[in-house]
Amino acid sequence: MSMIMRVFRREFAAYFATPLAAVFLTVFLAIIAGMTFFLANFFDRGQADLSAFFMWHPWIFLVLMPAIGMRLWAEERRSGTIELLMTLPVSTWYLVIGKWLAGWVFAGLALLLTMPLWITVNYLGSPDNGVILASYLGSWLMAGSFLAISACVSALTKNQVLAFIGAVVIGFLFVMAGFDLVLSAIQPWAPAIVVEAISSMSFIAHFQRITEGVLEVPALIFFFSLIAFALWLNVQILQVRKAA
């Protein structure tokens, strides 16, 4: 655990060693505020809740989480420091978890900075704070899933742009999996069990259930399982490259 925390501190500090952290946080807050107040007509809805705020999270994370995760391993490969990391007497699992955890905590910081919105809706009315808390937890879990995918893709290339594009494409597939447009294209030729399996992979479907205030076990298992699988795959990719 101490080794994971060392890797975590190194990676987390790296975000603030450059203007990257400030730029990302500013862009995230500007986009989420613009979509909440203008596109979702926050004040015209006449409801003191954050449903208009959380509805945009899957789409924002689809782009911004790969922007965080694309550098995790691609930068190490580009600079050549990955060879040094692989020769250290440290488990690859510790490196992978430490790097991913740094990105996940950074994403949590971004969410934490949106707390004034929570305060605002409580000032304007009497929202269900239990639902809002569950939605924040669900959003953070979803961000962790996007980041785990991004880190895994980042391990495949030294080009951060390719890592970003690859992560966005894979994330988009997970976001769109539950849409009728996708399912209707699959239903004519695929068995029902395949259609149901694809539908169950939808980020939006699981996240929407959580934003309704229902912390269902299937949704939690889905996000945690996806994170675990992506991190495991990340380890396998690195070990194959280390052996080569």
Determine contact, residues 33/17, Cβ cutoff 8 Å.
no
CA atoms within 13 A on the CB side of 174: 24
d(CA 135, CA 50): 9
pLDDT of residue 225: 93
- Where on the phi/psi map is residue 190: left (φ > 0), alpha (ψ -120 to 50), or beta? beta
Phi (first) and psi of residue 142, to 5 degrees: -65, -40
pLDDT of residue 41: 67
Give one DSSP letter per residue of 82-151, joined into a string: HHHHHHSSS-HHHHHHHHHHHHHHHHHHHHHTTHHHHHHHHHHS---HHHHHHHHHHHHHHHHHHHHHHH
Residues of the chain with pLDDT under 70: 1, 39-48, 79-89, 179-184, 187, 189-190, 195, 243-244
What confidence tens digit (pLDDT) does each residue in 21-65 have?
A: 888 888 888 888 888 777 666 666 666 678 888 888 999 999 999
Sign of the CA dihedral with 107 first, then 164, 17, and 81 last: positive
| Angle in degrees, CA 79, 81, 87, rounded to 5 | 155
pLDDT of residue 74: 75
Give one DSSP letter per residue of 28-93, joined into a string: HHHHHHHIIIIIT-TTTTT--SSHHHHTTHHHHHHHHHHHHHTHHHHHHHHHTHHHHHHHSSS-HH
pLDDT of residue 159: 84
| Domain extents in the chain | 2-243
pLDDT of residue 49: 73
